[in-house]
Chain A
Amino acid sequence: MKNVIFTLSIIILFLGCEKPLKEQHIPVHIGLIEYDAKKDTLGFEVCHEDLLSPYFHHLNISYEGEKPAMVKEYKNRFKPSDSLENGFITIRFIVNCKGKAGRFRVIQIDEHYNLKTFSDETVMQLYHITRSLKGWDIFERNHESYDYIRYVTFKIHNGEIKDIMP
């Protein structure tokens, strides 16, 4: 009898290990930028954490002076590295309902989109310039302002910024 109970317990234990899809790690939303105490500084708050959607970056939300004003900041301030590196660096972040940016996340990939590491010199320059940008438009709908997620992708060729997207 003891053996039967033991066997049944093992079976139940193993059945319990096979989690249904809902219990597997599936993010609340693809691309959501959640608060991370190790990465995020104090002083930046999202206005509606519950309504934060990674989708809003494309809904005609722009930058003061449009893209040329943003590109000018990078062109004037970025110093190409000597490392002759290639690939793409994407910086994702949240613009909150007051137009302030925070929760910056950096993704570095090669021309085939495999993760890679660029030189600190390149990454940190782009990171700091992006952090310092102030012209993000506020996303408003029906007299209410919302947070949105935005990204900027840099195409790097031989250590220089070849393109800024989108």
Chain B
Amino acid sequence: MRILALLSMLTMVFYTSVSYSQRNCNIYKGDSNCYKACLEVEKAVMHYAGDRSFQEHLLKSIKLCPEFDQAYFELSVNYAKRGLMHEWIKWINKAVEISPEDHLGWRGWYHWFFMNNYRKAIADIDSLDALLDYDIGSTGDGLYHLKILKGLCYKELGNSEKALQIIELFMDDEEYYQGSFDYLHLGVLYLETNQLNKAIKAFEKQNLYNEISEAYFYSAEVSLLKGNEAKAIKLLNMALKKYNEGLSMHDPYRQLIDEIYKVDIESKLELLTGKQ
């Protein structure tokens, strides 16, 4: 039973640990060492991420072809996920140095994702934007377009106006596609800048696309600001219901921007219902 449990865990970990889409190694066939280096990365990701064999294949890849960025990248990810950012930065910097167009976005995302290092995240996203003449793409987990993330970084730096400007501009772009929580963030930004009707519309749009507890929670905030306490309580109860159903913002690695917890809803409800 214990072995089965372990296998089940390892399988889960394996599927969540492959961090990068595999390259077609055949494109390196002109350079036999880099071709072999690419095959070593393919072997590495077949192992339990971070274990000795995984590391050995990647180090071998680097030795064979020091300019093969993917090996540095794969190593970097595994340090970051374990809270070892002083190691992460060495490996990811090397990957960025070799192939900035492939890794700047990822590095910027991780600056935010693991460290809330907003200035560095913005700098990397801007560098990538300056480098590419095509769409800079999304975060590695697909949760945000990097332009939305850039806006959110400004919000976290206390500049909600600029955040709103960046996000609205991007949402108007014909290439924009809705991300999981985009309208929730937009609504909270409207709320923070006292544009209450726009906020409500954004929360409604969020729930049409991806119904989450947070959209009800912040809608309740709007109702309170409009002086409608009864509606706020109703919305908070809805937020609690959705939270209990598992419909809320969640990421296994970190607390997301604008994410709320059960205690946030309950304490607000207690405050309001106790007051009534």
Instruction: Knowing A59-B252, A153-B83, say if A165 contacts B5 (CB, 8 Å).
Output: no
Whether B55 and A141, one on each chain, are in contact in the complex, defined by CB atoms closer than 8 angstroms, is: no
Residue from A29, A88, A163, A165 in contact with B52 in the complex, judged by beta carbons closer than 8 Å? A29
Does B261 count as interface, using CB distance less than 8 angstroms?
yes
Say yes or no for A51: interface residue by CB 8 A criterion. yes
Instruction: Establish whether residues B85 and A166, one from each chain, have CB atoms under 8 Å apart when the complex forms.
Output: no
Q: B82's closest neighbor in chain A, by CB?
A: A31
Query: Nearest 5 CB-CB pairs, A to B?
Result: A31-B82, A151-B83, A166-B254, A30-B50, A142-B5
Q: Measured between alpha carbons, how far is A59 from B8 in the docked complex, in Å?
A: 13
**Would you call the interface of chain A mostly helix, strand, loop, or mixed?**
mixed
| A60 CA to B252 CA, complexed, in Å | 5
A122 CB–B CB distance under 8 Å: no
Tell me the nearest residue of chain B to A54, going by C-beta: B82
Any chain A CB within 8 A of the CB of B244? no
Count of chain B residues near A, Cβ 8 A: 44
* B88 on interface, CB distance cutoff 8 Å: yes
By DSSP majority rule, is chain B's interface helix, strand, loop, or mixed? Answer: helix
Contact A68 B261 (CB under 8 A): yes
* Contact assessment for B8 and A142 in the assembled complex, using a CB-CB cutoff below 8 Å: yes
Q: Known interface pairs A113-B88, A165-B254, A166-B255. Does A30 touch B17 (Cβ–Cβ under 8 Å)?
A: no
Contacting pair A166 B253 (CB below 8 A): yes
Q: Point out the residues of chain B lying under 8 angstroms from A26, CB to CB.
A: 52, 55-56, 59
In this complex, what residue of A is CB-closest to B255? Answer: A67
Known contacts A59-B252, A142-B1, A113 near B83 by CB under 8 Å: no
**A62-116: which residues lie under 8 A (CB-CB) from chain B?**
65-69, 88, 90, 92, 107, 109, 111-115
0/1 string, B80-124, CB within 8 A of A gives 1: 011111101100000000000000000000000011110010000
Interface: B168 (CB within 8 A): no
Chain A, 126-157, CB within 8 A of any chain B CB:
141-144, 146, 149, 151, 153, 155
State the Cβ distance, B239 to closest chain A Cβ, in Å. 15
| A113-B85 contact, Cβ under 8 Å, with A60-B252, A165-B114, A165-B116 | yes
